[in-house]
Chain A
Amino acid sequence: MDLRFTDEEVAFRDEVRTFFKENLPRAIREKLKEGRHTSKDELVQWTRILNKKGWAVSHWPKEYGGTGWTPVQQYIFLDELQQAPAPSPLPFGVSMVGPVIYTFGSDAQKKQVLPRIANLDDWWCQGFSEPGAGSDLASLKTTAKRDGDHYVINGQKTWTTLAQYADWIFVLARTDMAAAKRQEGISFILVDMKTPGITVRPIVTIDGGAEVNEVFFDAVRVSLENRVGEENRGWDYAKFLLGNERVGIARVGVSKERLRRIRELASATMDHGRPLIELPRFREKLAAVEVELKALEMTQLRVVAAEAKRAKGKPDPASSILKIKGSEIQQATTELLMEVVGPYALPYRQEHEEEEGWNEPPIGPDWASTIAPTYFNTRKVSIYGGSNEIQKNIIAKAILGL
């Protein structure tokens, strides 16, 4: 047992850190630090910088453009990326549909889709959840009926993140209406967002932003060739995808970076004539979150070390812990930021004013306006990717055997 990285791992970390320092555009870095959203163009720009270096799809198999790094190297890369802070590559392509395609897709799909994901030539979004199918995903109602060499898709998807930018969507749709079990009879289909019959409608969330959408399918015709893998096996592919989704979900690096920022802002914020950071009650709250985060980091390292020894592609059920704790800690950091900003949480700015800059003088500290929206928005992290309650069901069943 040894916590220290090997010399090679230290050299690797330095290489990654230096690369981010030299190549991450300053504007993007500042935006992330301040809790603002990066634009589509900025994410494309950053992804292409990573892709040029060969790091955009680092965890993919080498033959599809991956790096061949060890799990420890992957961990270091992600940790450095999150702490830079740099944007994570768009997960819907890189972590979701990409691995499904290189594992279950046709050669044509691999050739056509994978390189365009790596370069963010295609922006992907995820068509899973429906108004009546959230945690109970298998109750989805969207249908894809065969009509010659096409499917005709009808139905509605929801919570579709960044669909407003998307070129493509991967959809779970029912292809066998008479299947004995709900999980059977579902297929995994790739759909061009420009296909006639698709309507995207934004959902405004409590932070005032509109990163999620409803996507409506009205007799959308898609070639049978756009189905991934076998017909009616889509549920298996979806489970595979959701298993991958938990990897890296702890976002330890993001929380580390945020704790640093809390310290910085709390040092510059006065309370009763002295910096807030000097208040013992505040310091204890901050220390409590740091302890939780250190424990989570160690738990993550244990999972990474175990992963290095296990058969590839099988997510550790213990990664459910990472989701639960990681989301709780992210939320705790946003609560601390609320405490730091205090009454200047109040003034509200439209999202486009955040994105495009604001000409008027700031109200309160110039960093204040994103704090409350971030607090509101971060409630999502214990809901998406399988809510924390669902994660507890998974642990109860898969680990405790209850």
Chain B
Amino acid sequence: MPFAIAGFGCGLIFGIGLVISGMTQPAKVLGFLDVFGAWDATLAFVMAGALAVSSIGYALARRRGRPLLAPAHLWPTRKDIDAQLVIGAALFGIGWGLVGLCPGPALVNLASLSPAIALFVASMAAGMIAQDIWRRRAPSVGEVEDAALATGADG
């Protein structure tokens, strides 16, 4: 139970951060990605603020040895830059650029009760499910990370 409460609290703070930063608004994210138009650099400030705090927090967590509520930190272990990473990041980049939504802001926006947001989240879930089914049927592709999918992925 404390584990779930910690999850809820962190999700809450994360979501508040997304709303305050303005990054739940797809139009504002597209404004950052539109470097050839009227560029809105806000997303860079959001990244800077996030990285300043998270890098210090991660360094402290590492020094402390183990998390408060679990036996060990589940740091991602992979180091190689493979074709899967490149292709996956590129596909995600196209989807992100088409609408201006990535998973976090999409989920926060569910609170708006917008049918368009619900459609996006349902499509995103369908894409994830389809990808996992396909990966299981074609074990030659990416079978190494399949076992560690839920915990060994980078994020």
Bound pair (A, B): no
